[in-house]
Structure 1
Amino acid sequence: MKVAITGSTGFIGKHLSDFLMNKGVEVHAVKREHYLPDNKSKLISLLNGCDAIINLAGASINSRWTKENKQKIRDSRIKTTRYLVQVINELATKPEVLISASAVGIYPDKEIWSERDGNYDNGFLASVCKDWEAEAKKVSTDVRLVIPRLGVVLSKDGGAFPKMYLPFRLFIGGRIASGSQGFSWIHIDDLMNIFWTIITTKKIKGVIHCTAPQMCDNLIFTYSLAKIAHKPACFRIPSVVFKIMYGEGASILTKGQKVFPYKLLNYGYSFQYPEINKALKNLCN
């Protein structure tokens, strides 16, 4: 099997490349230079004959959302996906599946959302996700399209968790703002297995929620982590602190979605880490 990955040097991309290679998959990294107009023929050659193409490209949203950073967040997802899809549509031998990532930030921060819901938020991140997905949907109908909407990916060695765990290690952990904001998460091991399930299960298509089935909010996460790490959680960090630090970008911490993985469960996927306590015991070990 041959798989190409955009964003292969990122946190998720590195994990996925190693995971697939351990399964004997031939993994090809789509690099930034492949998107230069003069290198189009090289990109075509790289993608031609791939069984699957996984699109994970995108600048980190964990930054202060200045005008420049917001443009970088948009362009790194939307322009990259647009060009990738254009090239896929020109391939003589197209992939069986295109897996193009998105995020649960497309939803409002109220209620519980399933893949059937089309009520999207109006904020910056939701706007990016909508346009990002729209570009992926332009891929040829000969290609099975899967759009995994990712929750917060928890891992010991990257992503959000080490930063979230640090205050607890320093005995200054606590909830963020009211703590009632949704916290839809997925353990890195489950995410890798979900990607493999998508690649190998041809009936899976369309939007897929990549989140654990347990409904969680910041307060549940905070006290679960404190209990498992044997650390106090007596502080409350007001939202204004994050607004000063990150501006509009503070919303990824002070707001959050509650998302349920109906499709994965219906397809029979069995989560290794369905509950936050089990996931945190693994991460804190």
Structure 2
Amino acid sequence: MKVAITGSTGFIGRHLTAFLISKGADVQAIRREDLLPERKLDLIALLNGCDAIINLAGASINCRWSKTNKLKIRDSRVKTTRTLVQAINELGNKPEVFISVSAVGIYTDKKEIWSEREGAYDEGFLSKVCQEWEAEARKIHDDVRLVIPRLGVVLSKDGGAFPKMALPFRLFAGVRIASGNQGFSWIHLKDLLEIFWTIINTKKIKGVINCTAPQMCDNLIFTYSMAKESHRPVFLSIPSLLFKLMYGERASIFTKGQKVFPYKLLNYGFMFQFPEIKTALRELCH
């Protein structure tokens, strides 16, 4: 099996590459320069013969949301996906599946729980980026099975958001953010890697897939679970206004959140290794 991956040097991409190789796959990294318009023919040649193509490309949202950075966040997802889809559509030998990730930030936080069967979109910056991102992926040829995994916060010891989230607790400065009622949809990296493998090998899986643990979680549950597993206290609550003063528009990452349910994964029989936050944090903190 030959699998091509954009964003292969990123946090998820590095782990996914190693995971797929361990499964016996031949992994082809698609570099940023391969996606330049003038390299279109080279990209087509690179993708030819691939059984699966996984699109993980996207600049980090963990930056100041200046006009320049917001454009970079958008274009690194939307334009990259557009270029990739155009190349795939011109292939004579098309892949069986195209997996193009998105995020649960596409959903509004105005309802208790969203599944793939129902969902209203937010009007903020990140949701609009996700909507454009997914729209480009949907331009793939009908002969190619399209899967759009909407990722929750990916938790791992050695990258992503978790080390930054854990640091305040290690420094005895764990806090609850605002009311703590904002949703916190997450997925353990080990489960996410298995989900990708399941998608590649299960032809009936199509369309949007919520990649989140089945336990409904919010900031309050996460904060006190983290305090328990790290044997640290929770001292105070930081008001949302302070985050807005510190981070501006980017404060929404911390003060807003969605509760997202993985209906399709459970319906397909996927077994989570880490279905609850306490089991995930137990592994991550020790």
SS at 2:252's partner residue? helix
- Identical-pair percentage: 75
Equivalent pairs counted in the alignment come to 285
SS at 1:99's partner residue? strand
Deviation string 1:82-106 (CA, Å, 9 cap, x unpaired) is 0100000000100000000000001
Whole-Å Cα distance in 2 between the matches of residues 57 and 259 of structure 1? 23
Shift of 1:37: 2.6
Q: Is 1:155 aligned to 2:164, yes or no? A: no
Which residue number corresponds to residue 102 of structure 2?
102
Q: Is 1:261 aligned to 2:267, yes or no? A: no
SS at 1:112's partner residue? coil
Q: Is 1:195 aligned to 2:227, yes or no? A: no
Whole-Å Cα distance in 2 between the matches of residues 138 and 211 of structure 1? 25
Which residue number corresponds to residue 43 of structure 2?
43
Shift of 1:240: 2.6
CA contact (8 A) 2:37 2:83 kept: no
The TM-score with structure 2 as length reference comes to 0.98
Shift of 1:35: 1.4
Which residue number corresponds to residue 11 of structure 2?
11
Whole-Å Cα distance in 1 between the matches of residues 49 and 249 of structure 2? 42
SS at 1:4's partner residue? strand
CA contact (8 A) 1:19 1:192 kept: yes
Q: Is 1:84 aligned to 2:84, yes or no? A: yes
Shift of 1:38: 2.8
SS at 2:216's partner residue? coil
Which residue number corresponds to residue 249 of structure 1?
250
Shift of 1:60: 0.7
Whole-Å Cα distance in 2 between the matches of residues 136 and 118 of structure 1? 19
SS at 1:113's partner residue? coil
Change (3 A) 1:160 1:135: same
Bigger drift between 274-283 and 102-111 goes to 102-111
Amino acid at match of 2:33: E
Shift of 1:181: 0.4
SS at 2:217's partner residue? coil
SS at 1:278's partner residue? helix
CA contact (8 A) 1:187 1:279 kept: yes
Whole-Å Cα distance in 2 between the matches of residues 182 and 37 of structure 1? 39
Bigger drift between 198-207 and 244-253 goes to 244-253
Which residue number corresponds to residue 68 of structure 1?
68
CA contact (8 A) 1:63 1:246 kept: no
Shift of 1:244: 2.6
Shift of 1:241: 2.9
The TM-score with structure 1 as length reference comes to 0.98
CA contact (8 A) 1:113 1:260 kept: yes
Which residue number corresponds to residue 211 of structure 1?
212
Whole-Å Cα distance in 1 between the matches of residues 9 and 246 of structure 2? 27
Q: List alignment gaps of at least 5 residues for structure 1.
A: none
CA contact (8 A) 1:103 1:148 kept: yes
Amino acid at match of 1:66: S
Which residue number corresponds to residue 116 of structure 1?
117
Amino acid at match of 2:240: S
CA contact (8 A) 2:172 2:232 kept: yes
Whole-Å Cα distance in 2 between the matches of residues 7 and 244 of structure 1? 32
CA contact (8 A) 1:175 1:222 kept: yes
Shift of 1:272: 0.2
Shift of 1:124: 0.8
Shift of 1:45: 1.2
Whole-Å Cα distance in 2 between the matches of residues 2 and 238 of structure 1? 49
Deviation string 1:22-57 (CA, Å, 9 cap, x unpaired) is 111100111011112332222111101100000000
Amino acid at match of 1:95: P
Could you list the runs of 4 or more consecutive aligned residues of structure 1 that deviate by over 3 angstroms after TM superposition? none
Whole-Å Cα distance in 1 between the matches of residues 90 and 153 of structure 2? 34
Bigger drift between 236-245 and 248-257 goes to 236-245
